[in-house]
Every structure is written in structure tokens, then in C-alpha cells.
């Protein structure tokens, strides 16, 4: 019997065959094709090449950050700036069990990213990944408690590997001890987690252009920041090279991103100096309507975002 593939099944619509012959042959071929396709085990590469990355922002902002990512059977949490019980409940609401998480990866030593790492580690049994400088600073500044299993990485060094998932770390210019942004890759799909960036540093726009989707910091509106209630030193810090990205800066990066990027989730929005409507309006004014935009809430989880 000839091997039937989806391609030659499709090609049987040849004009030389009469209608009945065509229908009979197509039906028979379809049966063989279905019978041939269903029970055949696929090699792992076949499965992973069609797998997507799932991501949920559980909370985003200076009041606490935590992003869940699932890909290739691997479950990761990025940052532990919210109480463990909030992360547990928000994941459960999406049908996910926090105890199944394989690793907690910390971006930097600020409290809104690391404060609850000890609880995540001890209560839910996840190893903590951080750079040595981040860990040392975090432990000295916050009552994180004992961490049994910590794994070091060097920001910008070799990617972390979890099964078929790699996590590339990118040093940022934010004023943490040793901050990182992340690119998660699985089955050819690439997701960026890029907050607390400092300023649009060299290589950032290019990195975003290699992604299929990105959580991108869009922290403040410059006019709201300047006219708002923050003290002068804090305004200077936020707008400075080691602070956060404004709506315009984030939008300019997205405007350069090219065709690969399918969605961006605006993240780490300031309560005082920004709001979701204004952030989206600013982005639309600069990038137009071609890119799907989400906004990560300071108070709620996003839906399950697929890459």
C-alpha cells in the first residue's frame, strides 16, 4: 500500500478524476490517513515544536510582582513580591497548583520582587534562582528567612535550563544590586519579561525584536510624574537612568519591534504617575493599532496569555 500523507490526499483533487472517483478515493484516503495518524507516537521534538508558552501576570507594580510561565511541562514563577497565599489563590483560580512550580527566578533585590521569596521556597517547595549579589542584598534588607535550595546564575551568562525550556538572563540598568530581564524560550517560541529596566539600554530594542510576546515595563507618564506628589529625589530616580521606563519609552521600543511580536502586556504601571487608559492611549498614539496590547493589573491576575 502506498504511504498516504496529508499532502497527496489533498492533491487528489485532480481535474482528470470524475466526481465519484474523487469522492471515493478521498474518503478511503482520509480513513487511511486518520488511521495512520492517530496511534503513531511522535518524537519529542514534534510535540515541543507545536507547544505554546502560557503566561499569567499574578500582579504587577511597585506593590508586588509575580509572573507565572508554563511551557513544555515546566512551570516557573518570576519574582515573589506578593504574599504566597495571593499567588496560590490566583493560580488556583486559573486551574494551576503553586506546589507544582519547578523554580522561582528572582529578577532583582527590590522588595516588590523578592520580599516573599522565603515563603514561596519553604511553604511551596520551590528552589530559588538568583544572582549572588541579588541574594546577598535581598537577605540583608528583608526578613526572607532560611533558604535551603538556592541556585546562582550570572546575569548575561549561560541560560538557565529546565527540560526543554531555556531562560536567558539580560543585565539591566535598573538601580537594583544586579538586575535581570528574562527571555523564556520553548519550541521556538520566545517570551520576554522585561520590567525594572532603568532606561532603554543598548541591545534592548533588538532583544524585543526577537520575541513573540513581551511583558514590558510602562511605568509612568512624564507629565503626571512631574506634576505629581512624589518628592523631587524620587521623581529624579524614576525618570533617571536607573529607574523605570515611561509610556513613551516603552512604546518607542515596541514601535521598533518588527513583525514577529504578537502581543505586549504593559507592566509595572505606577499608581500615582500612570493609569491603564493613559498608558494604552500613549502606546496606540505611537505604535498604531497593529499590535495586541494587554495591561497587567496592580491588583488582579491577567487571563492566561498564550505565546
96 vs 113, beta carbon nearer Zn ion? 113
Q: Considering the rule CB under 5 A, would residue 79 count as an interface residue with Zn ion?
A: no
Grid cell listed for 92 = 488556583
Q: Considering the rule CB under 5 A, would residue 110 count as an interface residue with Zn ion?
A: yes
29 vs 172, beta carbon nearer Zn ion? 172
Q: What CA–CA distance (Å, rounded) separates 29 from 33?
A: 6
Residue span 174-213 as binding mask against Zn ion, x where in contact by CB under 5 A, dash where not? ----------------------x-----------------
Number of residues located near Zn ion, criterion CB under 5 A:
3
Q: Which stretch binds Zn ion (CB under 5 A): 15-23, 107-115, 207-215, 221-229?
A: 107-115
Q: How far is the CB of 274 from Zn ion (least distance, A)?
A: 14
Q: How far is the CB of 112 from Zn ion (least distance, A)?
A: 4
Q: How far is the CB of 217 from Zn ion (least distance, A)?
A: 8
- Contact with Zn ion (CB under 5 A): which of 70, 88, 112, 185? 112
Q: How far is the CB of 279 from Zn ion (least distance, A)?
A: 16
110 vs 115, beta carbon nearer Zn ion? 110
CA distances to 16, 73, 97, 250 from 101, rounded to whole Å, are 58, 10, 7, 30
Q: What CA–CA distance (Å, rounded) separates 250 from 118?
A: 32
Contact residues for Zn ion (CB under 5 A)?
110, 112, 196
Amino acid at each position: 500500500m502506498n504511504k498516504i500523507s496529508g499532502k497527496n490526499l489533498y492533491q487528489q483533487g485532480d481535474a482528470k478524476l470524475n466526481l465519484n472517483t474523487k469522492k471515493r478515493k478521498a474518503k478511503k484516503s482520509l480513513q487511511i490517513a486518520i488511521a495512520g495518524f492517530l496511534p503513531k507516537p511522535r518524537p519529542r521534538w514534534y510535540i515541543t515544536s507545536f507547544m505554546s508558552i502560557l503566561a499569567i501576570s499574578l500582579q504587577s507594580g511597585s506593590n508586588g510582582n509575580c509572573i507565572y510561565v508554563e511551557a513544555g511541562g515546566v512551570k516557573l514563577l518570576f519574582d515573589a513580591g506578593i504574599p504566597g497565599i495571593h499567588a496560590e489563590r490566583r493560580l488556583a483560580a486559573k486551574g494551576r497548583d503553586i506546589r507544582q512550580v519547578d523554580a522561582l527566578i528572582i529578577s532583582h533585590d527590590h522588595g516588590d520582587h523578592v520580599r516573599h521569596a522565603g515563603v514561596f521556597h519553604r511553604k511551596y517547595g520551590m528552589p530559588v534562582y538568583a544572582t549572588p549579589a541579588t541574594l546577598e542584598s535581598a537577605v540583608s534588607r528583608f526578613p526572607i528567612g532560611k533558604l535551603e535550595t538556592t541556585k546562582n546564575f550570572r546575569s548575561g551568562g549561560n541560560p538557565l535550563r529546565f527540560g526543554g525550556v531555556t531562560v536567558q538572563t539580560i543585565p539591566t540598568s535598573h538601580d537594583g544590586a544586579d538586575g535581570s530581564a528574562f527571555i523564556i524560550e520553548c519550541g521556538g517560541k520566545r517570551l520576554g519579561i522585561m520590567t525594572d529596566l532603568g532606561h532603554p539600554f543598548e541591545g534592548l530594542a533588538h532583544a524585543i525584536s526577537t520575541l513573540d510576546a513581551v511583558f514590558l515595563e510602562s511605568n509612568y507618564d512624564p507629565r503626571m510624574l512631574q506634576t505629581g506628589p512624589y518628592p523631587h529625589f524620587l521623581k529624579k530616580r524614576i525618570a533617571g537612568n536607573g529607574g523605570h521606563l515611561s509610556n513613551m519609552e516603552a512604546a518607542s521600543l515596541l514601535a521598533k519591534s518588527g513583525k514577529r511580536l504578537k502581543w505586549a502586556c504593559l507592566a509595572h504601571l505606577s499608581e500615582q504617575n500612570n493609569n491603564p487608559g493613559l498608558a494604552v492611549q500613549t502606546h496606540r498614539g505611537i505604535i498604531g493599532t497593529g499590535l495586541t496590547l494587554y495591561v497587567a493589573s496592580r491588583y488582579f491576575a491577567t487571563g492566561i496569555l498564550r505565546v
